[in-house]
Structure formats: structure tokens, C-alpha cells
Structure 1
Amino acid sequence: MVRVSKWVALLTVILFSLSIIAGCGGGGTPAPTAPVEEIKIGLIAPLTGDVKTFGESVKNAFELAIEESGHKVGDFNIKYVIADDRNVATEAVNVADKLITQDKVSAIVGSVTSSCTIPISEVAQAAGVVVISPTATNPKVTVDGGKRKDYIFRACFIDPFQGTVAARFALDELGAKTAAVLFDQGNDYTIGLKDYFKEAFVAGGGQVVAEEAYAKTDTDFSAVLTRIAQLKPDVLFLPDYYQKVSLIGKQARDKGITATFLGGDGWDSPEIDWTAMDGGYFTNHYSPEDPRPEVKEWVDKYTAKYGQTPDALATLAYDATKLLLAAIEKAGSKDPAAIRDAMASIEGFQAVSGSISFDENGNPIKSAVILQIKDGAQKFVTIVNP
């Protein structure tokens, strides 16, 4: 019995020694690692409704930017939640509230139109959640009654610049002396762009001979276009989205209006009426014909993935998402206040649409391009610097 006990004791010592060796890296089960922390990001875009091509482009580019990041930013895994606002302001508020209160996102990319992004910005500012809109150009997105909404940013230029560029182009390049304007009286984007165009056009010596309002649901513009046809303006300024301007443009030509059509970035869609709008010009944020290498690289990889050339909506959504990821990485935190501070401090960010630094109101200082609708395509005309 003594001899057996000695062998048992010796075996116990050996097993204990082996367990110590295994615990020191000798091939045993590794100690469990802490799970990687997650950060939630929201995307709001009109995936259905009257400007759904805008939303489709934005969603594609957002997902491409996240995919390129490996679904990681800094020490965080990225989880994203996509919401459809249908280009309806009340729906935009509803989905923003859900993203913030239920999904607990730290930041939101979106929305696309000013009429939806302005109310979203108010919800997010009150909740202290960062928003960066790719494309909403109305000044009220980031400023309310002269007061800065410090959680709100954008990747696009704003309407005072865009409207002024359009007016100067009409005066200096088209030689226009008179202009007529049609605008949606319920849309902040069209109202703002109309106001800034008119102000710059008149200040430059032009005359606005007609300024006509319509409702979003209007489809028959016969009466107002008949009046405008009699005035024979040099330019017809149409600061609305592609579906509406296509409808107005066709009816204008049917009424014998020969004025040059002119508009803003809302024209940028493959579903615009190429025939009705042929010869028209519009301001935009980038051109795929830009010779910069970063533009060529962007166009090639987007086209390879989605089978079509990226429009300005896609380009700005890609830039906005990249800006947000850069801010999160710089902050090293998923706290919205830290992300806000990091975003505000970004300078010289090399985006596809140009070098981006934010001004005191969260707006990038950048150039615009003029494009022409010609022979079923967009043709690059010129770049206009701020």
C-alpha cells in the first residue's frame, strides 16, 4: 500500500507540473479575450418615393465605404442600420427618432434632401447625436435662426454658393439678361436655391421677369408656362428634383418656350428626361470626367461593383461616410460628443469631391462644377471655385 501511494503521489506531482506548463503557453486552452466593442451607425435615405434614385446611389456608396473599412473603425466593429424616409419629412423624423432611441446609433449619415434633413437635424441636435448629410444643401441644415447646430455637418456645398454660381454662369457665359423662375413653394431646397439665384442674377444686372410657385403634387403647368412663353426669357431656372423638372421642361417646350434651362444638383439622375432637358445646364458637386486620379479610381471601383457610373449623390455619400469614419477613428470613442469634436477639427481631408475642411457652420469649403445635358448624357463644362 505504501508503494502504491508513492506512485500516486508522483503521478499527481507530474500532472500538476504539466498543468502549470500548459497555462504558461505550452499548448493549453488560451485565456478568453475580451469581445470587440461595437459602434452603431445609421443611414437615412429615400429608398422609395419620388427621388428613389438619389437614395439608391447613397445607399450603394455608403455600403461600399463600410465594406472598404472591413466593417471596422479604430477599435470598434461597425454595425449599421438603414432607414427609408421616402423623401417625406414626417417619416424622416420618425426613422431618425427610432435610430436614436431604439437602435442607439452614435452617428447618422443622411438624409439626402433638405426638406428631410432639416427636421432630422433638429431631432439629432436635441439628442446629441452626430449627423453628416451627403447632399442636403439648404443652410438651415446646420444653422437654426443664426445659431449653429454643433452636432450637424455636411459633405456638400450650400445653396447660397450654388445659386450664385448658376446666376453668374447665366450672366457671364450664357449672356442672359432675363430669367423666369419656377419653384416648389413647400420645399426648402427649391425656395432657397431660387432666392439665391434671383439675388445674384439681379445684382449682376439681370432681370427676373417671372417668379412662379407650385405645389409638390402639381402636374399641369400650362397656365404659368403660357404666361412665361409670352415674356420670352433668356433663361428658365428650375431649382427642383429630376422628376419635376423633366415634367416642367417637356411642357415648357410644348408651349414654345425656347429659353435655356438652368438648375441645381437635384437634376442629377439617370431618370431625368434627356430629350426634354437637352441643352440645359445645372450646378453639381463633381464630374466623372474630372481628370484627378482619385476621381478615376472612385469611378472605376464603383462601376465595377454596381455596373454604372457614380453620380454626385453616390460620390458625396462615399465622402460623407469616409469623413465620419475618420472622425470616429480620430476620436477613439463612440461617444457622439467626442465624434462631433473630432469632425469639427478635420482639415484638408482628401475626398473624391475635393479637399474638405469645415467652416464654423459645419459646411465644407469646396468647388462646384457646371454640367450640360446633351445627347442623352451629362457633359462637363467647367469648374467654379468658391
Structure 2
Amino acid sequence: MNKIKNAIMIGATVLFTACGGGEKTVETETIKIGGLAPLTGSLAIYGVTTTNGANLAVDEINKNGGILGKKVEYITLDTKGDSTEAVMAYNKLIDKGASAIIGEITSKPSLAVAEIAAQDNIPMITPTGTQVDITEAGPSIFRVCFTNPYQGKVLAILAKERLNAKTAAIMINNSSDYSDGIAKAFIEQADISGIKIIAKEGYADGDKDFRAQLTKIAAEQPDVLLVPEYYEQASLIATQAREVGVKAIFIGSDGWDGIAKTLDSTSYNAIENSYFTNHFSMQDTSSKIQNFLKSYRDTYKEDPSAFSALGYDAIYMVKKAVENAGTTDKDAIVNALKNIEYDGITGYLTFDEHNNPVKAVTILKITNGEYVFDSKLK
């Protein structure tokens, strides 16, 4: 947590009337970007790693002359992953003069903030909020990550084209829009691709025992088992699935990033040869990604997550938009973002008509607890 740097406010924009008449603008000494993230609470692991990536980008930008010749202040406020806290934090950041907002991290608080930011026409980029209706809040709302339906569709394409699956089963978190959105899109694409869904079981957020549902799935002997879930519960489902005799290949969503960390190395066999969607691969040999990895490891003494890379890209996207606009005027930034072409750590992207990124999805395969690059699908 001590890696997170909350910037100190410097300067302010002041309008005054000169003696000779007319208004003059005293430019701010810095360009302020606001950050919204859960830095404490159960979701802090996601907020901290995203913020670390964003701070790394800010440090690099400032070392290289800033944006439009000005230093960048990245002011991050803790939302605790709560929608009400996120809205309060958003209002504080706007009061502090933020020209753009990075965040929120998870989908529900992202949507809560997006609805207000859209009314204010404040440029907002969620690095990691995958719920599809976030960007539907208004034209000033963007995202770096792909949406839940998009990765659900890609997972079905993976099952058919890469794994030759004819049948599939699904474990759905009935308490999660994230899980449900991915599962629905998977089912739609599976039907198009000719994959038969032979079992679908549900559970609630916080459940720890999935053996009853998994025993039913084991009896159906599916080729693949989709688990659209975050890695804490996904690791429990995977290990229990093997215990009750599920032989299927596991396929998971981007929430699986980090699943190996939850398991002892003696349990890696439970997730061996599983596949999941992600936003980049640390095995990518491009100099851009390898430089990012080195810089992140040097700074934080650990590997970056996909959330780190998305936070990093979000900052650089704001930089490019402001530079293309030539100003920190919010309307100009929004217009620049709409027309952006950005090649970052998580891929080359443009935005579609709903401000969702058009880009390839990285597929990773788990081998001996390592995430090995498999392919890119679109």
C-alpha cells in the first residue's frame, strides 16, 4: 500500500478581470488527473495493482517532460469498492480540478460514477470495469478493457476453434453481473459455433462448497467447463471440480489472472492446461512490454497484473488525448479520445460507437502454475 503516491495539490486556475478589461486565465501549474480505486477493503488487491500501474506511467511521463510541458498530478482517492464512496470521491476530485478521471476499478462503482461524469461531460476511463452498460452512461465515458459479452464470445470461439469442444458446462455466480454477462455471451456464441451446453449450475457470492453442483457436471462429462469468476472463487471451484471427477478443460475469464497465487504448488495440477482471457502476456517479447515489466518490477518488486497494465495504459491514453487536443478543456479531451488510435501494453485499440475498445483478446494457458501465451483472438 505504501507504493501508492497521493499527489499534493499545486496551483489553481483563477479567472479575473484585468484593469484593461476582459478575462484572463492563469494557467494551472500542473495537469491533474483523478484516480478512483478501492485501496482498502476486500477489493484492495485490484485497486492497488491498478493504481501502481497508473503511478508508474505518471512517473515516466513527468520524467520525460510531462504533458504539454506541465507536470502531471495523479490524485487517487480510496473508494473501498463502494458506489456511494466512489461518487463522493469523484466529487472531491472534480473540486480539486481534475481534468480527467481514471476509474473506477470494478463495474458497479464504475457505473455509479459514470452516470454523473457523463452529465458533467468529464472524460472518464475505467481501466478494468467490464460491465457493458458503463460506457452507455454517456459519450464522455470510455474503457480500456474489453467488455464481459466480448470476452464471453471469445471464450466460445476458443472452445470451438482451439479446443475442438463439442460440449460445454458452465458454473455461474448468480450474484455477479460479471459472471452472468460472460456466461450469456458464451451461450449465444456456443449456439452459433455448434457447441452444446449440457450443464449449467449456479452459486452465490461467498459460497465455499461447490461439490454438489460440480458432481452433476462431472456426470455429464463436458469437453470444457466455463468458470467466469474472479480467481479466489475460481481456484476453489477448480480444485473441488477435480476432487469430484470433472475431467473437462477449464476455461476462464480475465478474473482468473492471479489464480496460481491462491494455490500451493502441489495443487497446480487442478488448473493445469486451463485457459483464460487476459489483456496482455508477460511472455510477449516486444521491447515495449519488456520495458514495462522491468520498470514495474524495479519499482514494486513484483510482477504486474493485467490490472496494472490497464491502469498504465489508461494514463497514457489521457496523455495522448490531451496532447492531440492541445488543451485540458474537457470537451476537447472527450473528442480526442473518441478518435484516438493507441498502441499500448494491452494492445492496439480504437473505440467503437459505444466507446468500447476494438482490440484482440490475449489467451493464456496455465502450465506448471505459469501463464503461457497461447494465442490472440478477436
TM class, shorter-length: 0.7 to 0.9
Question: 2:202 touches 2:213 (CA, 8 Å); kept in 1?
Answer: no
Report the number of matched residues. Answer: 346
Q: 1:364 aligns with which of 357, 363, 369?
A: 357
Match runs of 1:173-188 below 5 Å: 173-188=162-177
After superposition, the CA RMSD in angstroms is 2.1
> 1:45, 1:253 → 2: CA distance?
35
Residue in 2 aligned with 1:23?
A: none
Question: 1:180 touches 1:209 (CA, 8 Å); kept in 2?
Answer: yes
Question: 1:243 touches 1:271 (CA, 8 Å); kept in 2?
Answer: no
For the residue of structure 1 that corresponds to 2:178, the secondary structure is helix
Match runs of 1:295-314 below 5 Å: 295-314=289-308
Q: 1:44 aligns with which of 16, 36, 54?
A: 36
- Stretches of structure 1 lacking an aligned partner (at least 5 in a row): 1-33
Question: 1:89 touches 1:116 (CA, 8 Å); kept in 2?
Answer: yes
The worse-fitting range, judged by mean Cα deviation, of 191-200 and 133-142 is 133-142
Residue in 2 aligned with 1:323?
A: 317
**Structure 1 residues 231 and 91: alpha-carbon distance in aligned structure 2, compared to 1, 3 A threshold:** farther
Residue in 2 aligned with 1:21?
A: none
Determine what percentage of the aligned residue pairs are the same residue: 38
Residues 110-134 of structure 1: per-residue CA shift (max 9 Å, x gap): 1222233222211211222111111
Residue in 2 aligned with 1:27?
A: none
Question: 1:51 touches 1:243 (CA, 8 Å); kept in 2?
Answer: no
Residue in 2 aligned with 1:13?
A: none
Residue in 1 aligned with 2:261?
A: 271
Deviation at 1:36, TM superposition (A): 4.7
Deviation at 1:245, TM superposition (A): 0.6
Residues 320-377 of structure 1: per-residue CA shift (max 9 Å, x gap): 1100111122223333222111211212x22122222222211221111111122121
**Structure 1 residues 49 and 226: alpha-carbon distance in aligned structure 2, compared to 1, 3 A threshold:** farther
Residue in 1 aligned with 2:22?
A: none
Matched, 1:197 2:183: no
Match runs of 1:107-186 below 5 Å: 107-144=100-137, 149-186=138-175
The worse-fitting range, judged by mean Cα deviation, of 373-382 and 350-359 is 350-359
Residues 211-234 of structure 1: per-residue CA shift (max 9 Å, x gap): 223222222223222222222222
> 2:28, 2:132 → 1: CA distance?
39
**TM-score between the two structures when normalised by the length of structure 2:** 0.85
Question: 2:37 touches 2:103 (CA, 8 Å); kept in 1?
Answer: yes
> 1:169, 1:52 → 2: CA distance?
31
Deviation at 1:35, TM superposition (A): 7.1
> 1:369, 1:322 → 2: CA distance?
20
- Stretches of structure 2 lacking an aligned partner (at least 5 in a row): 1-25
> 1:249, 1:116 → 2: CA distance?
29
Question: 2:35 touches 2:103 (CA, 8 Å); kept in 1?
Answer: yes
Q: 1:65 aligns with which of 57, 60, 68?
A: 57
> 1:111, 1:59 → 2: CA distance?
11
What amino acid sits opposite 1:295 in the alignment?
I
Matched, 1:95 2:85: no
**TM-score between the two structures when normalised by the length of structure 1:** 0.83
Deviation at 1:379, TM superposition (A): 1.0
For the residue of structure 1 that corresponds to 2:357, the secondary structure is coil
Matched, 1:292 2:294: no
Question: 1:75 touches 1:332 (CA, 8 Å); kept in 2?
Answer: no
Residue in 1 aligned with 2:99?
A: 106
> 1:128, 1:338 → 2: CA distance?
11
What amino acid sits opposite 1:302 in the alignment?
Y
> 1:202, 1:53 → 2: CA distance?
36
> 1:345, 1:283 → 2: CA distance?
26
Deviation at 1:105, TM superposition (A): 2.1
Residue in 1 aligned with 2:347?
A: 354
What amino acid sits opposite 1:376 in the alignment?
G
Question: 2:55 touches 2:74 (CA, 8 Å); kept in 1?
Answer: no
**Structure 1 residues 35 and 166: alpha-carbon distance in aligned structure 2, compared to 1, 3 A threshold:** closer
For the residue of structure 2 that corresponds to 1:143, the secondary structure is helix
What amino acid sits opposite 1:279 in the alignment?
N
Residue in 2 aligned with 1:260?
A: 249
The worse-fitting range, judged by mean Cα deviation, of 293-302 and 314-323 is 293-302
